[in-house]
Structure 1
């Protein structure tokens, strides 16, 4: 028996769908508070010293946190090649905006303190704000477009085709529902960043962060509820006319898909997935309560629970669809027909079993070493401040 036959193709596909979710959630949990902190920078810090305190809470860890983003992109490329090709083609300018904003962040960290001038430092503070706010919003807009479906179709040789110009496709992404999802994403990560600042700072900075974080949490909860209602009454879902073979060939055109009903029918078919949105709402409620009460450590935990619930609810609601097509539903990409080969998924799983625990252990060690609050004394004493 060939080694990879010990795990059947269908199981490997589900495992890699779950692992992709783990990587994206890991990115939201870790780099999410970096982006939230950057977006909060102009509001919670009013002096140069305060801004340096805020920057130093994330400066030592942002690079390690961004590893999850790279791993997620790599997993899409290797495990779900059609998804990589279709999404990066259709969302090209949106991805460019995200990458441009993410590039501003390390440049801002490195150059901000190279000169003493107030104008110089404020301009780099604006760059750090953009580096946090733009990705946090665009990722939510992308999720909104995935839920509605993307305007592509596949040719008989499985080449993805988008109609229209690149600029037209970019503005087409900014429909009302997707913008609402962008608001949910942005406010959710603002709450997460505020929870981080409450944990890592003290005094006026922490107080302001808790105030803004509480407001952001309320916006996130309201936006998430409105998005769910919108999905119920205003957006069609997708379903198979006849269920495909879970271990069939990776060719979406062999499936028969129609667009009708609602995505939320999934909660009738698999009631257990309701735990995800429940975690989202409970996590937000408890995080807001914790921010108002000044419970720093538990608030961070509740904020993570909220993100876990909200992000996972999207994947669980859509399963087995990954990226539906509004132009030709039969071109929609699903777990059962958009993966790499059986052998490829098995080899990748072996590498993941070895290296993912090492990443988790190293990350835990880094946070253990950097545990504690950043104070104004830390950033003013020579040798203590990185930025």
Structure 2
């Protein structure tokens, strides 16, 4: 028997759906506080030294954190080719804006302290703000559009056609999700600054985090009510073959009000996902108020896990519904690569993901501790 046949096609598809979710959550939890600190930079740091302190809390680790985004994008390309094709072409301008912001960010890290000019440093501080704010907002807007359905279709040859516009992405529900993303990452960035700094920067971070945490809860609940009352979901009405070929047109899909809540009705235990989203943010708020640093960052991470998991659980088995032609919607069962490709990728992932986790954990352990004036002056040749 061929080795890859020990794991059936259905199981591999489900495993890769879970792995993509894990990679996206890993990116949000690690790079999320990087983006949050960039967004907070003009507000938590008033002097040049305070800005350097805030920047150096993430300076040694932001590159490693961004690996999760690269791995996630690569995994989508290899495991779910139609999803990659539709999302990266349909969201082209949005993706371009994200990439432009993420490209500006490392340049700002490297060049900010090359000159003592206040105007020079202020300009790069603005670049760091843009590099945090823009991706955070657009990521949320993208999720909001995915939940509503994306205007694409396949013809009989499985050639994809996208018929949306960039400004069409900026609808009320998507912008609501963008604001939720901002609040969530600001909460997470504040929690990290509480862990890594002391004095005025930590106190300002505590203040803004105490605003962002309840705002995260409020926006998450409002988005859920909006989804219930004003956003129709998608439902497969034909027979589904989890072992079948990757052809999205072999099923029948209808648009149905409340369909995104069907999984919770059939399996109520799944409500643990949105519960984590709310309870994690509430725990972060309490941790900020009590100055419990580790509890705060862990609670904030739990909230991110719960909020992102809620999206995945609500949509399953859909991964990218089509508002233009519901039958063209992509699902876990009809948008994957071949059985052999998924198996080979799983073997590679089983080898390298633990190495990435182990190395990342080691880096965090070595670099643990507060960043302050003295540490920056002592490392003047290496600090940002």
TM-score of the superposition, structure 2-length normalised? Answer: 0.99
Match of 1:366 among 347, 363, 366: 363
Aligned pair in 2 of structure 1 residues 325, 382: CA closer, same or farther (>3 Å)? closer
Does 2:229 align with 1:233? Answer: yes
Partner of 2:216: 220
Partner of 1:153: 153
Partner of 2:263: 266
Partner of 1:96: 96
For each residue in 1:343-373, what CA deviation from the matched residue of structure 2 results, as whole angstroms up to 9, or x when unmatched? 0000000000111100000000000000000
Query: May I ask how many residue pairs the two structures share in their alignment?
Result: 383
Cα pair 1:83 1:333 within 8 Å, conserved? yes
1:112-127 matches, within 5 Å, as 112-127=112-127
Counterpart of 2:232 in 1: which secondary structure?
Answer: coil
Does 2:186 align with 1:190? Answer: yes
Q: Give the Å deviation of 1:218.
A: 1.4
Cα pair 1:4 1:346 within 8 Å, conserved? yes
**Gaps in structure 2 of 5+ consecutive residues:** none
Q: Distance in 2 between matches of 1:174 and 1:270?
A: 33
Q: Give the Å deviation of 1:270.
A: 1.8
Partner of 1:174: 170
Partner of 2:248: 252
Match of 1:348 among 345, 350, 360: 345
**Gaps in structure 1 of 5+ consecutive residues:** none
Q: Distance in 2 between matches of 1:243 and 1:322?
A: 18
Q: Give the Å deviation of 1:217.
A: 1.1
Does 2:290 align with 1:293? Answer: yes
Q: Distance in 2 between matches of 1:382 and 1:28?
A: 29
Counterpart of 1:259 in 2: which secondary structure?
Answer: strand
Match of 1:275 among 272, 275, 279: 272
Q: Distance in 1 between matches of 2:357 and 2:157?
A: 40
Counterpart of 2:35 in 1: which secondary structure?
Answer: helix
Please give the root-mean-square deviation of Cα atoms over the aligned residues, in Å.
Answer: 0.9
Counterpart of 2:257 in 1: which secondary structure?
Answer: coil
Q: Distance in 2 between matches of 1:384 and 1:33?
A: 25
Does 2:200 align with 1:204? Answer: yes
Structure 1 window deviating more from structure 2 (242-251 vs 20-29): it is 242-251
Cα pair 1:231 1:264 within 8 Å, conserved? no
Q: Give the Å deviation of 1:293.
A: 1.3
Q: Distance in 1 between matches of 2:148 and 2:58?
A: 34
Q: Distance in 2 between matches of 1:384 and 1:36?
A: 26
Q: Give the Å deviation of 1:134.
A: 0.7
1:370-385 matches, within 5 Å, as 370-383=367-380, 385=382
Q: Give the Å deviation of 1:173.
A: 0.3
Partner of 1:9: 9
Counterpart of 2:375 in 1: which secondary structure?
Answer: helix
After the TM superposition, which segments of 4 or more aligned residues of structure 1 sit over 3 Å from their partners?
381-385
Cα pair 1:378 1:384 within 8 Å, conserved? no
Partner of 1:308: 305
Partner of 1:80: 80
Q: Distance in 1 between matches of 2:103 and 2:62?
A: 12
Q: Distance in 2 between matches of 1:82 and 1:352?
A: 21
Cα pair 1:49 1:380 within 8 Å, conserved? no
Q: Distance in 2 between matches of 1:243 and 1:199?
A: 51
Partner of 1:332: 329
Match of 1:243 among 233, 239, 245: 239
Q: Distance in 2 between matches of 1:147 and 1:270?
A: 20
Q: Give the Å deviation of 1:266.
A: 1.8
Cα pair 1:378 1:385 within 8 Å, conserved? no
Q: Distance in 2 between matches of 1:23 and 1:65?
A: 11
Q: Distance in 1 between matches of 2:375 and 2:365?
A: 18
Q: Distance in 1 between matches of 2:214 and 2:239?
A: 40
For each residue in 1:54-108, what CA deviation from the matched residue of structure 2 results, as whole angstroms up to 9, or x when unmatched? 0000000000000000000000000000000000111000000000000111000
Q: Distance in 2 between matches of 1:345 and 1:253?
A: 21
For each residue in 1:254-275, what CA deviation from the matched residue of structure 2 results, as whole angstroms up to 9, or x when unmatched? 0111111211122101212100
Cα pair 1:139 1:185 within 8 Å, conserved? yes
Counterpart of 1:58 in 2: which secondary structure?
Answer: coil
Q: Distance in 2 between matches of 1:143 and 1:63?
A: 24
